[in-house]
Amino acid sequence: MSESRIRVASTDVPESVANGAYGKHQIGDNQYILKGIDFINGWRYAIGLKNIDICTYTFAEKSEFITKPFTTRKPIKSISLFANEVIPVEFASDITKANDWIQYYISIDDINWHRISPMHHQQLDPNAEFPPKIYHINSNDTTQDRSMYGYIQANGPVTAVRLKVIMQRPTDIENADSFTPILEEYSLRVVLYDDLLG
């Protein structure tokens, strides 16, 4: 016995075969159709979507959160902040407030809060006080410009810091409660002293 095999199109096979399972399908005496899958290494452009939410949100005028203490094994020498924030363009009526819609504070003692500017903030109002971007802790260095840097003196080595974020929105724009600043992520950059005593 010998076999001859020839590929045929799906349109040339009985419907029962086309819709049937993979494997052999007898179609006559000594004739059958083998249905199988060829594997092909190819490529795929794919777009997958779980959900698209179309939402209506209204927002409070002011909100805040405080983080748990971020602790370190060695004493903290300095602290700076990076943040990725989105401020609606509608808030831009007074550009000098652009840095104020999301305000950041750090504290090493949960009592005194020191406002800190994210590294990407720039001083917008020369007459207003611009919060430091970098705070030095227990620093004896007097060479740096104290108007640019913040200095926090503690009674001993500091190994924990909290961050407080206060968000707010204007109230004097149209549909003000439909807007919110968005904070997508932040990162506290903490430089440590080499020794445990700070």
Partner 1 sequence: MDTKNISAIVQMQTRILEDRMRSELENATTPEEIMSIKNRYAKKFFMSVGKPLTELFPAEAGHMPYAESHNAMAYQIVDDIDVLYRETELLGDYIVESFNYNQNEKTKLKNKIVYLSSLASNFNLVANEFQGNVVYFNESFNSYNNIDTEISTGSPINISTSEGVATLERTVAINHSPQGKIKIIAGNGDAGNYHIIDKMQTSTEGGIISITAKYASDDSPHDDPSAIIDGRPDTWFEYQMVNASDAAKAVARGYDIDWAKGKQRGERLRIKIVIELDSVRDINWIYINPYYPKNSTGKIHIYSLSTSRDGIEYKPINSEEIVMDNQVSVTPQSYTKDTLLVDDKQRKYNQQGVFSFPLTKAKFIEVVIDQPESYEETLGHTYYEKVVVKDDVIQPAKKVQDEVAAVFNIKPLRNAMRHIVTLEQNLSFEGQQQYVEYNWLAHSWTLKGYDFEPTTVRKRVVFYKNARDDGFEFIMCPAESYTKDQAVAKWQSMIGTTLNEIDGYKGEFVATEWGASPPDYKFNSIMETHIYPGRGYKMDAEAEREGNYTIGYNTYIKYVGYADVGGSKAEYRAVTCLVDQHHLASVMNPPKGRITIDNPRFDRGRILVDAIIIPNGLNDEDKFPEKTFAHIVYNGIEFKGEVRRIDGPYTYGIEIPYTDSNKYEKHPEEFEFYNELNHVFKTSEEAEQWVNTFRSAPKNGYTVRMPAEKGNYYSFEGMKLDTAVSINNPNIVAKMNVSNILIERIADLPLEEQEKYNGMDGEWRVKFIGGPNTIPMLGQNTVSATYVGVLSSEKIAGVPEDRVANAHGKSIAVEANSSTNPLTLPQTYTFEDDLYHGILELDESFVDGVHMNVLDTKVGPAYAERVYPGTVDEENENNRDEIVAMCESIIGTQMDGLEDPYDPDNPYSGMFTVNEYIIEEILVGDYLSFNVIFRGIGELSKVEYVPSYTGRYKGYVYLKALYDINGKEVRK
Residues 123 to 152 in contact with partner 1, rule: CB under 8 A: none
In which residue are the tokens 């410009």 written?
Answer: 145
Encode burial over 18-55: b for 16+ CB neighbours within 10 A, e otherwise: eeeeeeebeeeeeeebeeeeeeeeeeeeeeeeeeeeee
Query: Given candidates 113, 158, 168, 198, which one binds partner 1 under the rule CB under 8 A?
Result: 168
Residues 44 to 73 in contact with partner 1, rule: CB under 8 A: 44-70, 72
Q: Does 38 bind partner 1 (CB under 8 A)?
A: yes
- What minimum distance in Å lies between the beta carbon of 118 and partner 1? 9
Q: Does 193 bind partner 1 (CB under 8 A)?
A: yes
* # residues contacting partner 1 (CB under 8 A): 97
- What minimum distance in Å lies between the beta carbon of 143 and partner 1? 20
Encode burial over 120-140: b for 16+ CB neighbours within 10 A, e otherwise: ebeeeeeeeebbbbbbbbbbe
Residues 62 to 121 in contact with partner 1, rule: CB under 8 A: 62-70, 72, 74, 77, 82-86, 88, 90, 110, 119-120
In which residue are the tokens 């109230």 written?
Answer: 171
